[in-house]
Structure 1
């Protein structure tokens, strides 16, 4: 049939591709053999750079070649210029590396090696163009707004370029506005807000900022309830503040002291004084270096004043003749002093509105796991005692709805139950709980010896 285009069969196409792949593989192996052979012979020259660049533009993920290039570049940058040789400015040479990495990123925008080599090249430049790098980030984030390699690179570039945290926060808002499902933008936001609007504890934010962020993230979450990005950020906003270091209790029995703390410390951070004189003691714990429960033997007389000091936390007591003595400190938990404190009136209003939104969405989508999980977290933040049963039921239902993460919810449930029972002083319930006894981790175990007293 004259004039008609002949279409190759699938078998013919596959055969040609196989021949092409074999040729590329042969060429790649030859190039790698040449590079490695020349390296073993000590060659650190332009030829080596040229051959490695050709291979990397075909496959940017060969970490060995990027490392060989660094080795060559360091040699060439420090090598004195010999007579007759053309001098190459340091930044000119490294700009060629930037061109190479950009070409490689066009092939694979998520190449670890290419992004890292670009960072390395800029670190060794005299006058890097940070505005150009920011523009490059914008370009790649337009192609894929969730490229976390580029987001990490942008954070570093922004820091080098002295871009303000406020400008970066506005950039995250721009990206979130383009696509609510931008996990990297939400995550970057969680790193910027504690710097711009710090709360009382580490990695927390001011209450007014928390309220506005909850409003923002709810709009995103309820736009697409099945997308996890906004829900994860919502979880971070509701996260429990890190507990401040304080002494829970000091248990004295038969000249032995057990000291429990809300957070782990090193043994050299614990000081003990008898009648105002510091005594050197050998403390023991499960981990020799870092524990929240320490034990030591002490020799003192009945009636001696003993003082414990851990950083700025202090506890004083008198040694008794016989039996046990339990001295409770500021970190002791009770129904009034909880692991999760009750919110103030304004925060409570915001949380109740979020709870109502979750309830409405669950009426429409009863099996929405992210909505149910967020509702459970809100109940926990509002009043962990009053809502305890609802929290337990929510986590139990999530084990069925989201079976791949069943162990996570079970672990979360164990922690919630343990905290509730410690606050109630219910030692028997903790030790007899079948779920906890089968689990390798018992949360807040430093409280248990005192509950048993």
Structure 2
């Protein structure tokens, strides 16, 4: 057995080839092809082949054709599908215009459909299909816009339908004068963003009297409901929900065709979880939350035919219902307050917290929440109530929420002083942790006072 003793410990290449003065790379590729003709799923050979390609730069079009050949011999070939996705991205997707991209995706989906109907239980095909569908081009449009006048400043929080890498093409006018805004992404860990925040210091003439804010879209954005004109005054809050992603006609056609194919397959194979799951995801993308009952029914059926992932489907179903409730609250013109009490919520997803990032008051009493990590995206929150849950530690760094002044987590499971780390350097003025075991510690009160320099009330008692 060959040993790899190269200084590059991650290289899959054997020492014999890596340090050889002369290597017949073409012959090595032919050797790999012979091995793959014997066992087209041998991932050791696929790894070695990719390394050989990286050494002498063979034609990637030839490699793409090879994946087609081996996939048609055996659709159940995860290595070939994975390699194909890398090649497709590089050869046909990056830099393609929408028309060429849609043509490529349609051709690939035809191959996928043949594979799905031949091997409906093979997950490698379905994973490749999911990746393809994520590449269907969508129009970037405003999804939710929050406006908040704190008195001296105007804050604008913009949530887009799709991630965006270019500069934000929104033009803002205040009292008919063009105002330049600087946009910052809420989540700086990502390379492309959907959530942007901007602040503007109001002029003295705008502090006491109502003023008009007008937002116009330029360039990439598309939405019939723009331009926007809103009258604001001191302390006012405004939110507008515009809906989900905008699908171009050709993009919608591709997704609808896939929905029909997967629905047809599920009728033929009623125990195929992949077909039903794809139907559910496509319906959600095409029709949003317009038919929550249909989505919930599909997820219930998935729990029956795929019991090992029952908890995943339960959480998915809960999020669908919760999403609809939040969307309805935003559409109804909420004044910045949302209550999600007694709904059995076990976790708030990052996606949901980002949707709520402009809300000022959020009540989550009497649920089953354990983890607060994603609550760091509730950027404009002023008041957070999580009483009667199952929180063991305040893991979110509350100082990352610059407007938060009130926090209540009564009757939770915070036991250790270490579980209070999230309060460090926060600007909170009122905290209530009654009913948590940690309050019995003799160091509890002093520790929180050292963390929160603006604190005025702790457990309903003055800190003075």
Give me the TM-score of the superposition, normalised by structure 1. Answer: 0.56
Deviation at 1:408, TM superposition (A): 3.4
| Alignment partners' CA distance in 1, 2:339 and 2:281 | 26
2:296 match: 392
| Alignment partners' CA distance in 1, 2:155 and 2:302 | 42
Deviation at 1:441, TM superposition (A): 1.7
- SS of residue matched to 2:93: coil
1:165 match: 60
User: Over residues 186-221 of structure 1, what are the superposed CA-to-partner deviations in whole Å (9 max), with x where a residue is unaligned?
Assistant: 222222333443388899973233333333222222
2:158 match: 260
Matches within 5 A, 1:255-404: 255-262=153-160, 292=195, 294=197, 298-301=201-204, 302=206, 320-324=232-236, 326=238, 333-334=242-243, 337-338=244-245, 346-347=253-254, 350-351=257-258, 353-362=260-269, 366-385=270-289, 387-404=291-308
Which structure 2 segments of 5+ residues have no match?
362-464
2:349 is equivalent to residue 441 of structure 1: yes
In terms of fraction of residues, the more helix-rich structure is 1
- SS of residue matched to 1:443: helix
User: What RMSD, in angstroms, separates the aligned Cα atoms of the two structures?
Assistant: 5.0
User: Over residues 337-368 of structure 1, what are the superposed CA-to-partner deviations in whole Å (9 max), with x where a residue is unaligned?
Assistant: 53777766743663354044224323xxx322
Contact 1:234 1:374 (C-alpha < 8 Å) held by counterparts: no
Larger radius of gyration: 1
2:113 match: 218
1:147 match: 42
Contact 2:81 2:125 (C-alpha < 8 Å) held by counterparts: yes
Contact 2:318 2:345 (C-alpha < 8 Å) held by counterparts: no
Contact 1:238 1:377 (C-alpha < 8 Å) held by counterparts: no
Contact 2:77 2:124 (C-alpha < 8 Å) held by counterparts: yes
Contact 1:415 1:443 (C-alpha < 8 Å) held by counterparts: no
- SS of residue matched to 1:251: strand
In terms of fraction of residues, the more strand-rich structure is 2
Contact 2:299 2:317 (C-alpha < 8 Å) held by counterparts: yes
The match for 2:147 among 251, 272, 283 is: 251
Matches within 5 A, 1:404-443: 404-414=308-318, 416-417=320-321, 420=324, 424=328, 425=330, 431-432=339-340, 437-443=345-351
- SS of residue matched to 1:380: helix
1:115 match: 12
Matches within 5 A, 1:18-97: 57=2, 60=3, 66-67=4-5, 70=7
Deviation at 1:183, TM superposition (A): 1.1
Q: How many residues align?
A: 338
